[in-house]
């Protein structure tokens, strides 16, 4: 039986990952499902560095594949911020406060400056060793008013011009085809199916 542990406590991420990798694994669990409570300090200076730290740490605790991702929003006019600090951009780190800070900082930028990308780095590990890593990117721009209440994090503010909608408005099935995480997970899926 092929089992995967997803090294996250974020239920939104778990749902997205399960949908894409359910054909590859017989069982997909979160850290909570496995009863694992480990505090891993995400202090690397890159998304891949943080993902590797999580995947390698957890893969030493379980006897199966471990997938960890680190993802975030990079805004051109903010010098790539929030970047690796996306989850803890504001003092409280809540979605509401993170979004408030993002909108305040982006209000001073023109449309060009509000161009942004969502980045997702994924590391797959087994037995304390990295077996695969990749990145996925999705391009859009930041809008100053929330649209839609789907997704999580910055999704209601991340606008995709070619769809005329934010990630918060896109149906989950559509988002799961084009998001940064979906693009990275497709690479993982191809690697696993080889």
Q: What residues are annotated to the active site?
A: 70
Buried b (16+ CB within 10 A) or exposed e, 42-54: bebeebbebbbbb
CA-to-CA distance for 122 and 135, rounded, in angstroms? 6
Are the C-beta atoms of residues 120 and 184 closer than 8 Å to each other?
A: yes
CA-to-CA distance for 58 and 126, rounded, in angstroms? 9
User: From the CB of residue 192, how many other CB atoms can be counted at a distance below 10 Å?
Assistant: 17
User: From the CB of residue 147, how many other CB atoms can be counted at a distance below 10 Å?
Assistant: 16
Are the C-beta atoms of residues 95 and 157 closer than 8 Å to each other?
A: no
């Amino acid at each position: 039986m092929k089992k995967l542990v997803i090294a996250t406590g974020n239920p939104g991420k778990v749902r997205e990952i399960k949908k894409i990798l359910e054909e590859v694994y017989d069982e997909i669990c979160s850290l909570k499902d496995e009863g694992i409570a480990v505090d891993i300090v995400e202090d690397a200076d890159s998304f891949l560095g943080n993902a590797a730290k999580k995947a390698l740490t957890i893969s030493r605790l379980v006897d199966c594949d471990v997938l960890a991702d680190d993802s975030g929003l990079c805004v051109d006019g903010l010098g790539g911020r929030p970047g690796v600090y996306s989850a803890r951009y504001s003092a409280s780190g809540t979605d509401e406060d993170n979004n408030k800070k993002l909108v305040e900082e982006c209000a001073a930028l023109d449309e060009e400056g509000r161009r942004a990308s969502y980045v997702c780095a994924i590391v797959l590990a087994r037995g304390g060793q990295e077996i695969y890593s990749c990145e996925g990117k999705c391009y859009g721009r930041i809008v100053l008013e929330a649209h839609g209440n789907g997704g999580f994090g910055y999704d209601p503010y991340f606008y995709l011009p070619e769809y005329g909608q934010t990630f918060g408005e896109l149906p989950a099935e559509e988002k799961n085809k084009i998001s940064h995480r979906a693009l990275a997970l497709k690479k993982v899926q191809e690697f696993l199916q080889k």
